[in-house]
Amino acid sequence: MANIAIVIDNDFEDSEFEEPARCLKEAGHRLTLVGTEKGKRLTGKQGDSHPTVDCTPDDVAADDFDALLIPGGYSPDKLRTHGNIVEFVKAFHTSGKLIAAVCHGPSLLVDADAVRGHRLTSWPSIRRDLTNAGGDVVDQEVVVDGNLITSRKPDDLPAFCDAILSHLPEPG
């Protein structure tokens, strides 16, 4: 079983949280929601999902986890302004741990200095940001490059989930 952190705040894209979370839980992995305020009840962009933050980066460390998931929506943009969240994400990257980001999720990787020299994909509106941060941005369903798995949009979630699961240890 892998321990997976999910960095999240209000206005995340509901399906980009719910679908990977479901797939990961069904595969036997443990999820921890990391946000800006422990116990905060969040609301997705579509208003369909209302998870509660388990802890903040002050309560945990990247070393406590095997992988990191960054759902899209407006959540990553909000999280970019919180230094402790950015440092938490950066710690995953510098230690070579798996980071999976979908849609607008890779925008958080820019602030964590985790883009330069990597091939990745995203929602079209942040592609220039990723390129300016030194990334090689392509328009593909899923891109796996080193410890990064990125995907473009909700329609890509089945392939995104498959890629994540194929890079995690089998539960047991």
Domain ranges of the chain: 3-166
Fold type of domain 3-166? Rossmann fold (3.40.50)
d(CA 76, CA 135): 18
- Per-residue pLDDT tens for 97-108? 999 999 999 999
Q: Are 10 and 75 in contact (CB under 8 A)?
A: yes
82 as an active site residue: the answer is no
103 as an active site residue: the answer is yes
Q: What per-residue confidence (pLDDT) applies to 172?
A: 58
169: pLDDT confidence band, cut at 50, 70 and 90?
Answer: confident
Average per-residue pLDDT in the chain? 97
- What would the two tokens of residue 78 be? 């909000």
Catalytic residue among 82, 93, 104, 118: 104
Catalytic residue among 82, 93, 103, 118: 103
Q: What per-residue confidence (pLDDT) applies to 52?
A: 98
- Per-residue pLDDT tens for 109-167? 999 999 999 999 999 999 999 999 999 999 999 999 999 999 999 999 999 999 999 99
pTM of the entire structure?
0.97
